[in-house]
Structure 1
Amino acid sequence: MVSALITLAAIAWFSQMVLGAWQIYRFNRAFDALCLKGRVGVGRSGGRFRPRVVVAIALDEQERVIDSFLMKGLTIFAKPRALPNIQGLSKQQLQSDVIFPNDQNCQNALLLALKLKQR
């Protein structure tokens, strides 16, 4: 009985590692695609028992959004999703409370992503 529990725990741990690596791989591919388009800002918010949110935004030389994505979820199955509603907006037009009116975590992540460093 004890060996069965140990085996089950080992399988769960290994599965978590593999699926976590798969999620990181998907994030890195989406992030690399953004980096090729322009200056990128990334913001993250969330806690241990709340859905974590990652927002990444690519801006061009005129400070307009070229592309962006959002990752949100509690599990390793969260994947990058495009944010088409902010494409083409200038940095000054990006108001987190308007874009995400009911989600404080997304608002915080967007605000952090907008704190881009100058080149």
Structure 2
Amino acid sequence: MFPGLGGRGMSPKKMKGMLKSMGINIDEIEGVEEVVIRTSDREIVIKNASVAVMEAQGNRSYQISGDVTELPRVSPSDVELVASQTGASPEEARAALMDCGGDLAEAIIKLSSKTS
């Protein structure tokens, strides 16, 4: 949990006991495969996730580690617009938008140049 405390390693069991005596509980959530954080303009996907829950003074905090990938969020209306402007399928339009970081003009140009 906290490697190298004071220059010496401390066993996780001993650390957990010490934190518990201070009113802090830490538990691992087992079997987590993926964590997704969605914002207004992107998704942060954490695969092979390790999630620890820390409870202190009635508050819960989550610590997440794993393999992180950030993706732009693509709205259905953007997919529809790109597909209608280029004649591409919705799947092709979505893929182009993802490749172009959600940039509509770039996705349209990319798909238009494929059909030319």
Select the structure of larger CA radius of gyration.
2
Kindly indicate which of the two structures has a greater share of residues assigned to strand. 2
TM bucket (normalised to shorter chain) is under 0.3
Normalising by structure 1, we get a TM-score of 0.26
Kindly indicate which of the two structures has a greater share of residues assigned to helix. 1
